Chains A and B, each alone.
Chain A
Amino acid sequence: MGYNTIRERADAIGTFRFISVNLMETLARWVPLTPELEAKILFGRHIWDMAQHADGLGQRTSELRAPLHYSARPTDAYMKVLDTLAGLTDTAERAEAMYAGFLPDLEKRYQAYLDGTNQMQDEPSVRVIERVLSDFQRMQADYRQFRDQRPDLRPKDKGWKSRFESIAKAPADFIAFRPAPPQTLERVSS
């Protein structure tokens, strides 16, 4: 997938922003509901990271001729994955799903954007995403440290593997691109 037009870039960046806000809220929701202190701290420490990602992406959307903090809801299939993640109730499943499943998958999507956009024309987006990806590395390192602290917290449910896979391998299509604006359609049809 190439991100050749401003509109396509705005839709992609707006979708990444939506996902960042959604993840911020998921971590925030988990904090009071998670009993284990080390897990609460792990989730709590990353709320600000997600907020910063959303903020950086939201600033960028306004430069891509979309509103400031434009958030684009992903495809229904991808929303289902976000909802499944948010709905997890077991601490070990929450942590593994977020850090070993969802974030690595999201990392690939960001990388695909970097590969598909024009690095010079879209350099401000590239810089924002590079910072996001750097944070993901730290967050996953925090998760590995958490696993060392709490070896007792591992998913135990027999059906977990398949549920994990559904989160770690979300549907490829996740950006719900807006239809092209009328003037573009007119130009194409004339």
Chain B
Amino acid sequence: MNSGPTKEIRGFVLAADPAREGCFTVVNTDDEMHEWPDMSEISRRERIHRHMNNETGAMEIAAQALVDFPEAPWGLRMNLARQATDEARHADLLLNRLVEMGGAKGEFPIANFEWGVTNMLDNLPGRLAVQNRTFEAGLIDLLGTLRDKWRKEGDHATADMLESILADEITHVRFGNRWIKRMTEENPAILLKVAMAVRFLGKAIGSMQLKPGETNVVGTVWTEEKLRPPAVNIEDRLEAEFTMDEIKEVLSQAGFRTIIPSALR
């Protein structure tokens, strides 16, 4: 496990938050977030605001991997560098969109769950398994649904933006899949690190996840329906080089929805 600064949430130890400016209220769990189920104006701004922080976190995770693993193959470092810059661009796009919608950074609470989990892992295959192959792959599913949702609401500017972000995320998942495959082929012992990382993620989710009937601070009730995974984006997962067997497994995982940045639901 990582030896950097940590925080303890509900008895579970996660990496301490990355730096955030004073305008942000940083929280740790879903019940502290302001999340509404509808597409009201405030809910739309909150979705964009939450997504903006998730992209910021993804940028930070990729950047930190460059710092923590200087001996990684140069090709992988190039991929991580590209990812960090892509995520920075996504955060910038979302910040601009938020402002266009009349919102402002810091308007809603934010959480850094992905950073907290991923940066507890002291090995790069584990981080790729959690961040690229799980969180970002979950985002592929989610963005496929959200793009259609925003378009249905008549907000084509946001839908177009999500479409372009989705295309980038597919490349991030794809390079994660490729490198994990390559590294485990070269050294099968790495599979154990990947398995331990995924297990750690499962435990973290189990500790934090709201249960049906619980509510967040703005009164949104967590229903069984809300806890169900988003529709699996089969076409885009295939493009990200998941195998059909892996996709079927995702489809069968009842708890899958909880490992995505739930912010965007």
Interface set of A (CB-CB < 8 Å, partner B) = 24-25, 27-29, 31-37, 40-41, 43-51, 55, 58, 69
Q: Which of B70, B88, B115 has the most CB of A within 10 A?
A: B88
Which residues from B are CB-within-8-Å of A69?
74
From A36, A45, A51, A55, B89 is in contact (CB under 8 Å) with: A45
- The contact sample of 21 A-B pairs, CB cut-off 8 A, is A25-B67, A28-B66, A28-B84, A29-B67, A31-B88, A37-B56, A37-B105, A40-B56, A40-B59, A40-B88, A41-B88, A41-B95, A44-B88, A45-B85, A45-B92, A46-B85, A48-B85, A51-B78, A51-B81, A55-B78, A58-B74
Chain B positions 60 through 99: 1 when the CB is less than 8 Å from some CB of chain A, otherwise 0 = 1001101100100010011001101111110110010000
Q: Are A47 and B63 in contact (CB under 8 A)?
A: yes
What is the total of A-B residue contacts with beta carbons within 8 Å? 83
14 A-B pairs besides A25-B70, A69-B74 with CB distance below 8 A are A32-B18, A32-B60, A33-B18, A36-B21, A37-B56, A37-B105, A40-B60, A41-B91, A44-B63, A44-B87, A48-B85, A51-B78, A51-B81, A55-B78
Which of A25, A41, A44 has the most CB atoms of chain B within a 10 A radius of its CB? A44
Q: Give the CA-CA distance A144 to B204 in the complex, in Å.
A: 42
Contacts of B182 in A (CB 8 A): none
Within 8 Å of chain A (Cβ to Cβ): is B19?
Answer: yes
Residue of B nearest to A27 (CB): B63
**Chain B at the A interface: mostly helix, strand, loop or mixed?**
helix
Q: With A48-B85, A51-B81 as known contacts, state yes or no: A31 contacts B74, CB within 8 Å.
A: no
Given contacts A31-B60, A51-B77, contact A44 B85 (CB under 8 A): yes
Q: Which residues of A contact B59 (CB under 8 A)?
A: 31, 40-41, 44
CB distance from A98 to the nearest CB of B (A): 15
B20 interfacial by beta-carbon distance below 8 Å = yes
B18, A24: Cβ atoms closer than 8 Å: no
**Cβ contacts under 8 Å, A33 to chain B:** 18-19
Of the listed residues A34, A36, A51, the one surrounded by the most CB atoms of chain B closer than 10 A to its CB is A51
* Chain B residues close to A by CB (< 8 Å): 18-22, 56, 59-60, 63-64, 66-67, 70, 74, 77-78, 81-82, 84-89, 91-92, 95, 105, 115
**Are B67 and A37 in contact (CB-based, < 8 A)?**
no
Neighbouring A residues of B70 by C-beta, 8 Å: 25
The residues of A that contact B22 with a CB separation of less than 8 Å are: 35
Q: How far is the CA of A101 from the CA of B81 in the complex (A)?
A: 23
> Could you tell me if B63 and A32 are in contact, using CB atoms closer than 8 angstroms?
yes
B85 to chain A, nearest CB (A): 3
Q: Which residue of A lies closest to B60 (CB)?
A: A32
Q: Are A28 and B20 also in contact (CB < 8 A) when A37-B95, A47-B81, A48-B85 are?
A: no
Say whether B66 contacts A47, CB under 8 Å.
yes
Q: A28-B63, A31-B59, A35-B20 are in contact. Are A44 and B74 (CB under 8 A)?
A: no
A31 to B66 Cα, complex, angstroms: 11
Q: How far is the CB of A89 from chain B (nearest CB, A)?
A: 11
Closest to B77 in A: A51
Task: Return chain A residues, CB-CB under 8 Å to B77.
Answer: 51
Out of B74, B84, B91, name the residue touching A37 (CB < 8 Å): B91
By Cβ-Cβ distance, the 7 closest A-B pairs, closest first, are: A44-B88, A48-B85, A51-B81, A32-B18, A28-B63, A31-B63, A28-B66
From A35, A41, A55, residue with most partner B Cβ within 10 Å: A41
Specify which of B19, B21, B82, B86 is in contact with A51 (CB 8 Å cutoff). Answer: B82
State A25–B81 Cα separation when bound (angstroms).
9
In the assembled complex, the CB of B113 is this many whole angstroms from the nearest CB of chain A, namely: 15
Distance to closest chain A CB from B30 (angstroms): 22
- In the bound complex, what is the Cα–Cα distance between A24 and B80 (angstroms)? 11
Decide: B85 and A34 in contact? CB cutoff 8 A.
no
B95 contact set on A, CB distance < 8 A: 37, 41
User: Which of B59, B82, B91 counts the most A-chain CB atoms under 10 A from its CB?
Assistant: B59
